[in-house]
Amino acid sequence: MIHHIEGGYANTYLIEGKEGLTAVDVGSNLAAEMIRKIITEKYGEKEGGLKLITATHFHIDHIGGIARLKEMFPEAEINFFSMVSKYISGEEQLAIPPFSRWVMGLVPVMTRIGHQYRNYCQSFASRKAGIPLPFLRDHTRIGYKPECELEESHDIPFLPGWRLIETPGHTPDSVCFYNEKDKILISGDTILNMEGTGELNRFCCSIEDIETSFKKLSSISIEAIYPGHGTPIVGAKDLMEKVKVMDSKKSGL
């Protein structure tokens, strides 16, 4: 079972697995509080079972509430895709999309997201790291020490049946999480759903990379998409054939 949590600009997901619970993309303190409420109501204070906290990429709206959630569940492991370690150590800077993609890609998404005032307040109150802006992208004080060991070829701890898929494009470190048995994809900001049937994200650092990632995802069977922004798409076959792909020439990207 996957719980869809709307506690900030991005979607947060709580996966019930055979070995416990995994939280994906905890982007705000409110999302962390909502996760605690779900766990407390279902499992009780002493049987939370939160084993893993992870993210589809290192952006503030996907990691801003992790520090708060870790305070609530100190025994939970935080583990990111291996590339994230380079951001945290300062070896690499966060990639910044060209200005045209902010206009053509980000603005249309932001105008369709509800609860703007609440989301703004949550972003202000939550941990400041992973901001893809000049002079701010080097700020990586996250308030916890994560593992950065997740790889495409390795099993995901505490999540049997799930695997990580590298999907660069929105950011170089973007990944998706896929359950082959149930044909579920947690797509992060690679595939959004602001238009009804899903769309490839226009707000990206590399058009070529995200198009390659889309082709990669199109080669697997997917019947449910849980996007980083927008409503989950569940209970349909051949979903990838319905996902809207950008026309880079028309969009000016």
pLDDT, mean of residues 8-35 = 95
- Segment 105-160, tens digit of pLDDT: 777 777 777 788 787 777 777 888 888 888 888 888 898 999 999 999 888 999 99
Distance of CA 16 to the CA centre of its chain: 17
Q: How far is CA 242 from the centre of its chain?
A: 21
Categorize the per-residue pLDDT at 55 as very low, low, confident or very high, splitting at 50, 70 and 90. very high
Structure confidence at residue 48 (pLDDT): 61
Q: How far is the C-alpha of 53 from the C-alpha of 59, rounded, in Å?
A: 15
Main-chain dihedrals φ then ψ at residue 246, nearest 5 degrees: -65, 145
Q: Which stretch, 1-10, 118-127, 165-174, 244-253, has highest mean pLDDT?
A: 165-174
The pLDDT > 70 percentage for the chain reads: 95
Q: Which helix (H) or strand (E) holds 3?
A: strand 2-6
44-61: b (≥16 Cβ within 10 Å) or e: eeeebbbbbbbbbbbbbb
pLDDT over 80 at 99, yes or no? no
Residue identified by tokens 């898929």 is 165
Higher pLDDT: 202 or 135? It is 202
CB atoms within 10 A of CB 35: 27
Provide CB contacts within 8 A for 252, sequence distance 6+: 100, 104
Structure tokens at 196: 């009804």
How crowded is residue 208: how many other Cβ atoms within 10 Å of its Cβ?
Answer: 11
Q: What is the CATH number of the domain that holds 236?
A: 3.60.15.10
User: pLDDT higher for 222 or 247?
Assistant: 222
How many domains, in total, are found in the chain? 1
| Phi, psi for residue 186 in degrees, rounded to 5 | -95, 105
pLDDT band at 87 (very low <50, low <70, confident <90, very high): very high
Give the tens place of pLDDT for each residue, 1-13: 999 999 888 999 9
Domain that residue 162 falls in = 2-251
pLDDT at 251: 41
Q: What is the pLDDT of residue 135?
A: 84
- The average pLDDT across 94-114 equals 78
pTM (predicted TM-score): 0.92
d(CA 183, CA 70): 29
Q: What mean pLDDT is reported for the chain?
A: 90
pLDDT tens per residue, range 185-197: 999 999 999 988 8
